[in-house]
Amino acid sequence: MTTFSLASLDQLHKAFETAKEAQKEWGKTKPEERLEILKKAGGLSCFVESY
């Protein structure tokens, strides 16, 4: 069985602000490059055939 802690409200706000900032750069990334990044991050090789 696994346990995990909940984030504080401050941590939640920081996570949202960080994600909003990261989205600016991610949005400029070409779809092909995003695919390669996601494949490396999560082993999403199943997307290769459908892309």
Q: What is the pLDDT of residue 42?
A: 78
Tokens of 14: 């920081």
b (16+ CB within 10 A) / e for 8-45 = eeeeeeeeeeeeeeeeeeeeeeeeeeeeeeeeeeeeee
Q: pLDDT digits over 13-45, tens only?
A: 999 999 999 999 999 999 999 988 888 887 755
> Could you give the CA distance from residue 8 to residue 50 in angstroms, rounded to a whole number?
39
Which residue has better confidence, 37 or 3?
37
Say what the pLDDT of residue 44 is: 55
Contacts of 44 (CB under 8 A, 6+ apart): 35, 38
